[in-house]
Structure 1
Amino acid sequence: MPVLHLGATVLCMHAGSALPTMPFPRVSVSAQPVVQVTTPYVIAGCSLSTSSGPFCASGQWVIGATRVLAGGLPLAIVGGTALCIATGTGMQAVASQTRVLAT
């Protein structure tokens, strides 16, 4: 599975754009820092934000690479599992670099 980096396009399930807040700067792919599973994401533009209930404002990868680490932590990968904090729905990577793979 491709490794996620700062420039990867990640969306919540309601089409909100998710950006990592603290990518790991010591390892780069496609000239951009990688994202560890513990990196929190901030989400903007969730379509649920206009409703009175909870909406996706932040998220985090919970399952990532099992064999590739950066700084002692697993990397976030396209095939991993991520959750939005308030709603419990997922996030998905829709575009990422394809040269570096991790399992």
Structure 2
Amino acid sequence: MPGFLLHLGATVMCAHAGQAMPVVPNPRVLVSGQPTVPMNSLYVVAGCTLPPPAAANGPCVTAQYITAATRVTSNGLPLLLIDSQAICAPSGTPLLPTVTQTRVTGM
């Protein structure tokens, strides 16, 4: 399905309200003046409210996307879309992109 491309300034959060940021954005393709994010970029999560292991399996620390665009690539890597799916570690919950640019779509 088509969706808007994720970029460095997009608001992406874990399921427990932690802020997620890409480690390696892609400076070769810009949208709204900001780098896009390739599928292989790890996300780091800060501020996750999931309790530590005594009550749960710990706060989200990192996340990795498992789906991305099928027709839009840069440097041979698929770019992330707003509807791409990610899994946080160690909780196994998804990342939730809530705000992104609305000019460029991909599929």
Per the TM superposition, whether the score is higher than 0.5 is yes
Cα distance per residue 1:31-63 (max 9 Å; x no partner): 000001110001000001x43332200002110
For residues 70 and 87 of structure 1, the distance between their equivalents in structure 2, rounded to whole angstroms, comes to: 30
Give the letter for the 2:10 counterpart: A
* 1:97 to 2:95 alignment: no
Gaps of 5+ in 1: none
Secondary structure of the structure 1 residue equivalent to 2:101: coil
Aligned pairs, number = 102
Match of 2:7 in 1: 5
Q: Percent identity?
A: 45
Cα offset, 1:85, TM superposition:
2.0
Which 10-residue stretch deviates more, 51-60 or 36-45?
51-60
Structure 1: distance between partners of 2:70 and 2:89: 23
2:70 matched residue in structure 1: 66
CA RMSD in angstroms, aligned pairs only: 0.9
CA distance, structure 1, for counterparts of residue 14 and residue 45 of structure 2: 7
Find 1:78's aligned residue among 63, 67, 82.
82
The within-5 A match list for 1:8-19 is: 8-19=10-21
Partner of 1:87: 91
* Residue 4 of structure 2 corresponds to residue 25 of structure 1: no
Q: Which runs of 4 or more aligned residues in structure 1 lie more than 3 Å from their structure 2 counterparts after TM superposition? A: none
Structure 2 counterpart SS, 1:63? coil
